[in-house]
Structures are given as C-alpha cells and as structure tokens.
Copies of this chain bind each other. A is one copy, B any other.
Amino acid sequence: MVPSDDVLRAVQETSRRFCLGVVGQGNLDGINRVYTADAQILPRRASLMNGREAIRGFWQAGFTALGIKGAKLATLNIEITGNTAVEVGEAELNLGENGSATAKYVVHWKQEDGQWLWDKDIWNIS
C-alpha cells in the first residue's frame, strides 16, 4: 500500500527527531520518541540489542567512540501494512574530522501510542 501523507509526515518527524535531537544535540532521552519500548537494533560489529535502555547505551557509546557529529537519513522506499511499515534507506554520517560514512538500512516501523516509531533497525556499509 502506498503510505498516506499523514503517515509519511509522522515518519519524517520521527527520523528528524533522531537526526536533529538525538544525534545533532546529543539528546539521548529522544530515543524514547524514536524507538518502540521493545525495539531491537542489529548494529554492524555489535550484537543484537533489545529495548530502549540498551539502545540508548549503544548510541551513547557510538557517538563517543565513532565521533558522530551528525546524521542524515534518506528514504529509498517505504511500504505500509496496517499500523506497520518497512523502510529501506540510506544514512550519511558526519564524522567530523574523520570525514563521513554512508550506511544502508532497513527499519521496521510501528505505530505505538499515536506515534510512528522504529521497532527494528538494522544497517551495514557497502
């Protein structure tokens, strides 16, 4: 099903919250409004992690260890089924003095508490 404008807006709002709030301002509390309570992330070079606490810890360590200064997400395609969606996209990470890195990702979205949030998040590098 082609996503409605309302869903696309909600999805963009969540992604913006991650890029500008969580990554851009280092606001890790923003994780709660990006990922579902039971979300799973499958990072490259790390084990699968479950739940917001673990995800918060992962990103906190990631910003420090990798020196991530900014992130831009670009949706390549998104398909909605009921109150879930699957997005394929590309992420560009600003690594400050270390240049940039490009990742590709799949996010499984769910509508939870009136918001569209990331329930599964996996990425790799080409």
Interface residues of A (CB under 8 A from B): 40, 42-48, 76-77, 79, 81-82, 84, 86, 88, 104-106, 108, 120, 122-126
Contacts and interface: CB of A to CB of B under 8 A. Distances in A.
B48 A76 contact: yes
Given A42-B106, A86-B86, A86-B108, 8 more contacts: A42-B124, A47-B126, A48-B104, A79-B84, A81-B81, A81-B82, A88-B120, A106-B106
A89 to B, nearest CB: 10
Nearest to A47: B126
Contact of A122 (B77, B84, B106): B106
Contacts of A48: 76, 88, 104, 126
Contacts of A44: 44, 124-125
A108 B79 CA distance: 11
A106 to B, nearest CB: 5
A42 B108 contact: no
A58 B50 CA distance: 31
A47 B81 CA distance: 26
